[in-house]
Structure 1
Amino acid sequence: MEPRPRKLLDRVRDVIRMKHYSYRTEESYVAWIRRFILFHNKRHPSEMGAAEIEQFLSHLAVQERVAASTQNQAFSALLFLYREVLQQELDESINSVRAKPSRYLPTVLTKAETHAILNQMNGVPQLVAQLLYGSGLRLTEALQLRVKDLDFAQAQIVVRDAKGNESRVTMLPGCTIEPLQGQLRRLKRLHQQDLERGYGLVQLPYALERKYPNAGREWVWQFIFPSVGIPLDPRSGLRCRHHLHESSVQKAVKQATRAAGIQKRVGCHTFRHSFATHLLQDGYDIRTVQELLGHKDVKTTMIYTHVLNRGGRGVKSPLDS
Structure 2
Amino acid sequence: MRAIRLRHYSIRTERVYENWAMRFIRFHGNRGPSSLGSREVKAFLEYLAVDRKVSASTQNQALNALVFLYNQVLEMPLSGLDDVVRAKRKRRLPVVLSQSEVRRLLDQMEGVYRLMATLLYGSGMRLMECSRLRVQDMDFDYNLIVVRNGKGGKDRVVPMPGSLKADLEVHLQHTRAVFDADCVKGVGEVYIPEALGRKYPNACKEWGWHYVFGSGRLSVDPRSGKTRRHHLHENGLQKAVKKAGREAGILKKLSCHSLRHSFATRLLENGYDIRTVQELLGHADVSTTMIYT
TM-score (norm 1): 0.89
2:59 matched to 1:71?
yes
Query: Does 2:183 align with 1:195?
Result: yes
Kept after mapping to 2: 8 A contact 1:147/1:222: yes
SS of 1:88's partner is coil
Q: Which residue of 2 is the match for residue 120 of structure 1? A: 108
Contact kept, 8 Å, 1:53 with 1:94, in 2: the verdict is no
Per the alignment, residue 248 of structure 2 pairs with 260
Aligned residues: 293
- Residues 22-74 of structure 1, C-alpha deviations (whole Å, 9 max, x = no match): 22111111111110011001111111111001000000011100011110110
Give % identity. Answer: 53
Runs of 4+ in 1 over 4 A off after TM superposition: none
CA distance in 2, matches of 1:17, 1:230: 23
Deviations 1:161-196 (A, max 9, x none): 111111000100001100100011001111111111
For the residues of structure 1 that align with 2:149 and 2:142, how far apart are their CA atoms? 21
Contact 1:69 1:101 in 2 (8 A): yes
Could you tell me which of 152, 165, 170 is aligned with 2:153? 165
Aligned match of 1:283 in 271, 289, 292? 271
Cα shift at 1:88: 1.4
Residue identity in the other structure for 2:243? Q
1:106-132 CA distances to partner (integer Å, 9 max, x unpaired)?
111111111210121111000100111
Q: Structure 2, unaligned stretches of length 5 or more? A: none
Alignment of 1:95 with 2:83, yes or no, is yes
Show the counterpart of 2:49.
Answer: 61
TM-score (norm 2): 0.98
- Pair 1:216 & 2:204 matched: yes
**Alpha-carbon distance, 1:94 to partner:** 4.1
Mapped partners of 2:167, 2:242: distance in 1: 22
The AA in structure 2 aligned to 1:260 is A
Distance of 1:206 and 1:138 partners within structure 2: 24
1:131-150 residue CA offsets vs partner (Å, 9 max, x unmatched): 11100011111010011000
CA contact (8 A) 1:146 1:222 kept: yes
- 1:210 shift after superposition: 2.0
1:135-174 equivalences under 5 Å are 135-174=123-162
Unaligned runs of 5+ in 1: 1-12, 306-321
In structure 2, distance between residues paired with 1:93 and 1:260 = 48
Give the residue type in structure 2 aligned to 1:231: S
- Is 1:243–2:256 an aligned residue pair? no
The residue that corresponds to 1:83 in the other structure is 71
Letter in 2 for 1:151: D
| 1:148–1:220 contact (8 Å) kept in structure 2 | yes
SS at match of 1:127: helix
Q: Secondary structure at the match of 2:175?
A: helix
Aligned mates of 2:34, 2:82 — CA distance in 1: 17
Tell me, in whole angstroms, the C-alpha distance in 1 between the residues paired with 2:33 and 2:174. 50
Higher mean C-alpha displacement, 93-102 vs 158-167: 93-102
Partner of 2:170: 182
The answer as to whether partners of 1:50 and 1:94 remain within 8 angstroms in 2 is no
